[in-house]
Amino acid sequence: MNAKNEHDLSLTRRRLLGTVGAAGATGLALGGTGGALGQSAAQDEPPTALATVGSTEVAFHGKHQPGITTPLQAHGHLVAFDLASGAGRKEAAALLRRWSRTASALMAGDPAPDGHSGVALDAGPSSLTVTFGFGRGFFSRTGLTAQRPEALAPLPQFSRDALDEKRSNGDLWVQIGADDGLVAFHALRAVQRDAAGTARVRWQMNGFNRAVGATPHPKTMRNLMGQVDGTNNPKPSDSDFDKRVFVPPGGPPGWMEDGSYAVFRRIRMLLDNWDEQSLAQQEKVIGRRKSDGAPLSGGTETTAVNMEKRKADGGLAIAADAHVRVTAPDTNGGAAMLRRSFSYHDGFRDDGSPDAGLLFVAWQADPLTGFVPVQRKLDSGDALSRFIRHEASALFAVPGGAGEGEYVGQRLLEG
């Protein structure tokens, strides 16, 4: 699944006492292969006291927007909006200004500026992050096509895609995460209220991750298939992390400096089919042991995968179509993206199967060197593809963080 096995769930649940700024967050140690430094730093960190779940605050202002390198939260909302007819650049600018003010207030644990406070009173910030992005349609509707990044070209159609257009794309995108469900919901409501008259909800989805403190510390997350998920995610301590994830100084385009591109895919897992497989079959599909995430070529979770390793019978230890092989950066020209997803579960479908899987969110400096080449390989040769369905898709340009007194997207909208 889109390099799913390597995805964001590696973000450890380490919490800092006090404010974690967007810049400071890049210093967080993320669990993962090869990141001996990061890994051990995380292990040295004592478990955070329970009392800080509510009081942990992420800074809204900074070089990058929050919610990209921020440790994964337990609750997430993704929501896309389309601009209302009649709403243009001026109205969009006013909306981004409102949204930025709301995000800044709520992330600090203050009431929503529109006066509709109280829903999450006395909750504390609870690691809330609110992240804003622009879809391709935004630029034509606001007369800003000249500013539209080349990187926002529509994603290619993949042969296995079964996309629902109504739950795909959108002019504007907001990603909300928090460790408390009420704080996250309150932020979603505030964002929706701010949009009234200017933009209407196109689609909205809810996700979750492990609770803070629910797993031994630090431990890579598991997805709904039970697989350890996120071992090989890029780490902020990697020398090429910024180059892979963030748009470099100057762009192009200039207004995207320090920004990133978010690929969203709603990936339903065919869990009934998956559960019918034996443990050995499941592990062969992934290329890692289910119990601890160690590659089938040997070692522990963080041991580098040995793609050439042979079993006693002469066969490859890591099958030719194993997910871990197809997604390996060195078989994709070094492509790597920061995967930071939420699991979802929307009940059961009419056929009795669970409507559940992954709200996959991947961050990269350029989708054409990040998501696209990896997904192209997965689309044709990934053993995991029999057990998943890509049901929705979107691509958003997520500008850099707002400085003090600035709003997100100001450099585009007033540039």
The verdict on 113 binding a copy of itself (CB under 8 A) reads no
Q: Toward a copy of itself, which CB reaches closer, 109 or 253?
A: 109
The verdict on 29 binding a copy of itself (CB under 8 A) reads no
Site string for a copy of itself, 71-110 (x = CB under 8 A): ---xx-----------------------------------
Omega prior to 113 cis, within 30 of 0? no
The verdict on 181 binding a copy of itself (CB under 8 A) reads yes
Q: Which of 149, 143, 167 is nearest to 80 (CA)?
A: 167
State which of residues 290, 376, 391, 406 lies at the interface with a copy of itself (CB under 8 A). 290
> 94-103 burial, b if ≥16 CB within 10 A, otherwise e?
ebbbbbbbbb
The verdict on 53 binding a copy of itself (CB under 8 A) reads yes
Active site residues per annotation:
229
Pairs from 328-333 (Cβ < 8 Å, separation ≥ 24): 328/232, 329/232, 331/307, 331/377, 332/373, 332/374, 332/377, 333/369, 333/373
The verdict on 269 binding a copy of itself (CB under 8 A) reads no
The verdict on 224 binding a copy of itself (CB under 8 A) reads yes
For residue 151, what are the contacts with CB-CB under 8 A and spacing of at least 6?
261, 366, 367, 368, 397
The verdict on 4 binding a copy of itself (CB under 8 A) reads no
The verdict on 392 binding a copy of itself (CB under 8 A) reads no
Q: Is the separation of the CB atoms in 280 and 316 below 8 Å? A: no
The verdict on 208 binding a copy of itself (CB under 8 A) reads yes
Q: Toward a copy of itself, which CB reaches closer, 179 or 366?
A: 179
How far apart CA 171 and CA 369 sit, in angstroms, is: 23
Chain centroid, CA 248 distance in Å: 20
CA dihedral 209, 214, 220, 225 (to 10 degrees): -60
The nearest distance, CB 207 to a copy of itself, in angstroms, is 9
Residues in the site for a copy of itself, rule: CB under 8 A? 15, 47-54, 74-75, 116-124, 126, 179-183, 185-186, 188-189, 192-193, 200-201, 204-206, 208-217, 219, 222, 224-226, 271, 275, 279, 290-291, 343, 345-348, 352, 354, 356
